[in-house]
């Protein structure tokens, strides 16, 4: 029997009890990848099949190493992974094979996962559509002519197509939420600091991104979050270790539905109609959902976000732009971010940070009246795979390469946990999603709600016809 859509926690349990061997699981997984991956281009830098089978056979007889013992796992290609080409989707690193793991990959190995390769990304993770000049474009398993999202698009497509049972992702500007929504999946952008970043470079000023889990069910989200989360004393922002697999029963929650933020967010009308039609599933899961007015002026969130993102990307990629040879290898969006960062004055950065501080205070006040707030996870349905990004939504021009994903910035700017829930399929058969955002540290409660939601989710077993 194929293991393609079996939950990761069931596979792990069967390996632990001896009913499934790591080698049998690896053989089945590699056969599935060989048959399906050429259609969607989700997994890249796949390791040699014979070597992977040897590693799996070695695990057959070995003591259980950790909670992911024997599980085939493809790591997002923004994570340096020992012995596996790690390109960040950039020609600058197209042949780079790290000699050591980044923290996330090291935690996966320590948990017993067999790292089989990488999942595709846009260059340096910039943009919510996974294409790059090294590996090409990842296609949506539900419609091979459409985008799978990004920057964790390879991860989302691989999960939706049953190539892997768990996937890591990172989320600066919706990079976990967009692919989950467009691939009928769950994801969790954790509270900032819960999953520590690689302890390198500048780590203190304006943190915007975090790693997190993506899965086909909430129990698997908790399984992977348990592996990825936990403090690292080399990282300035961290939370104590929590057991996310021992979740409380969901006891209800008040959710504020913020819709299009009072008209501030351009939305495809059919998507908004569809998502509002899906809100009763939240109620069926035990939540109380009420429409609410905007919590804060969105123009201040957007201005702060754009400035701090410029600043952060300048710090990360500016060195490549200063090298004439490497600069020519950067995508236009990267150059735009870097030049935007260079144009900032100290006063600009202070204003952006002050606006962010105002938003954090507004969030604290808002959560005195409700438990979570909800927004669409995206502003459009999946678009044509050959596009770079939408240049307009419902007649509103998008003035940047990322403005069409502005809906994700409130959680990112606040460092807030954001759960993505599958929200069904539109008339053309494409998936959609809703993001549920909680106060800092509410990750376990969000996962408990996800468990309740999954029980009544009518789309949980709708897989792509590949």
Q: Left, alpha or beta for 226 (phi > 0: left; psi -120 to 50: alpha)?
A: alpha
Pairing mode of beta strands 392-393, 372-376: unpaired
CA distance 110 to 71: 12
CA distance 70 to 66: 9
Q: 151 an active-site residue?
A: yes
CA distance 380 to 430: 11
Please say whether the beta carbons of 124 and 88 come within 8 A.
yes
- Is the N-terminal amide bond of 151 cis, ω within 30° of 0? yes
Angle subtended by helix axes 22-40 and 153-160, to nearest 10: 110
Task: State the catalytic residue, choosing from 23, 147, 152, 175.
Answer: 175
∠ CA 329-320-97, rounded to 5°: 75
Within 8 A by CB and 6+ apart from 300, the residues are 355, 358, 359
Q: How many CB atoms lie within 10 A of CB 332?
A: 10
Please say whether the beta carbons of 178 and 377 come within 8 A.
yes
Residues in a beta bridge with 57:
none
Task: State the catalytic residue, choosing from 86, 147, 151, 259.
Answer: 151
CA distance 327 to 393: 31
User: Which tokens in the block code for residue 338?
Assistant: 């870097």
User: Which tokens in the block code for residue 304?
Assistant: 């702060």
Task: State the catalytic residue, choosing from 29, 76, 90, 300.
Answer: 76
What are the E-state strand segments in 204-317?
210-215, 253-257, 287-291
Element (H, E) at 132: strand 131-132
Please say whether the beta carbons of 157 and 139 come within 8 A.
yes
Q: 76 an active-site residue?
A: yes
Please say whether the beta carbons of 124 and 7 come within 8 A.
no
Q: Left, alpha or beta for 263 (phi > 0: left; psi -120 to 50: alpha)?
A: left
Distances (CA, A) of 348 to 306, 311, 381: 11, 10, 34
Q: 128 an active-site residue?
A: no
Query: What's the N-to-C CA distance of the chain in angstroms?
Result: 17
Residues in a beta bridge with 74:
117
Query: What 3 state SS string does 412-438 have?
Result: HHHCCCEEEEEEEECCCCCEEEEEEEC
Residues in a beta bridge with 169:
212
Catalytic machinery residues? 76, 151, 175
């Amino acid at each position: 029997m194929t293991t393609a859509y079996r939950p990761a926690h069931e596979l792990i349990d069967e390996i632990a009890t001896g009913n499934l061997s790591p080698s049998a699981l690896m053989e089945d997984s590699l056969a599935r990848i060989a048959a399906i991956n050429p259609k969607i281009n989700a997994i890249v830098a796949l390791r040699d099949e014979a070597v992977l089978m040897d590693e799996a056979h070695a695990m057959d007889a070995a003591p259980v190493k950790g909670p992911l013992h024997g599980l085939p796992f493809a790591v997002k290609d923004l994570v340096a992974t020992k012995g596996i080409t790690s390109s960040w989707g950039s020609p600058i690193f197209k042949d780079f094979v790290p000699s050591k793991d980044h923290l996330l990959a090291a935690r996966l190995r320590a948990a017993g996962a067999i790292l089989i390769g990488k999942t595709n990304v846009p260059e340096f993770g910039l943009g919510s559509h996974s294409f790059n000049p090294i590996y090409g474009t990842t296609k949506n398993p539900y419609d091979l002519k459409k985008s799978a999202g990004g920057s964790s698009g390879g991860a989302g497509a691989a999960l939706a197509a049953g190539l892997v049972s768990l996937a890591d992702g990172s989320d600066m500007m919706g990079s976990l939420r967009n692919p989950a929504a467009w691939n009928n999946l769950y994801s969790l952008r954790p509270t900032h600091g819960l999953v520590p970043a690689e302890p390198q470079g500048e780590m203190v000023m304006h943190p915007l991104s975090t790693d997190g889990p993506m899965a086909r069910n909430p129990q698997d989200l908790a399984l992977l979050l348990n592996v990825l989360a936990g403090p690292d004393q080399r990282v300035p922002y961290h939370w104590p270790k929590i057991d996310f697999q021992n979740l409380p029963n969901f006891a209800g929650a008040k959710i504020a539905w913020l819709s299009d933020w009072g008209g501030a967010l351009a939305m495809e009308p059919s998507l908004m109609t569809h998502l509002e039609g899906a809100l009763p599933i939240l109620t069926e899961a035990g939540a109380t959902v009420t429409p609410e007015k905007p919590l804060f002026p969105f123009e201040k969130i957007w201005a702060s976000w754009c400035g701090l993102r410029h600043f952060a990307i300048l710090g990360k990629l500016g060195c490549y732009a200063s090298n004439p040879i490497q600069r020519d290898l950067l995508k236009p969006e990267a150059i735009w971010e870097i030049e935007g960062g260079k144009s900032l004055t100290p006063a600009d950065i202070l204003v952006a940070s002050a606006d962010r501080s105002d938003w954090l205070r507004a969030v604290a006040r808002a959560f005195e009246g409700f438990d979570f707030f909800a927004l669409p996870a995206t502003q459009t349905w999946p678009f044509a795979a050959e596009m770079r990004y939408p240049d307009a939504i419902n007649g509103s021009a998008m003035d940047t390469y990322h403005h069409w994903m502005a809906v994700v910035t409130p959680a990112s700017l606040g460092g807030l946990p954001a759960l993505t829930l599958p929200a069904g399929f539109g008339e053309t058969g494409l998936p959609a999603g809703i993001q549920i955002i909680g106060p800092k540290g509410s990750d376990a409660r969000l996962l408990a709600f996800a468990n309740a939601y999954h029980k009544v989710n009518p789309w949980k077993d709708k897989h792509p016809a590949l």
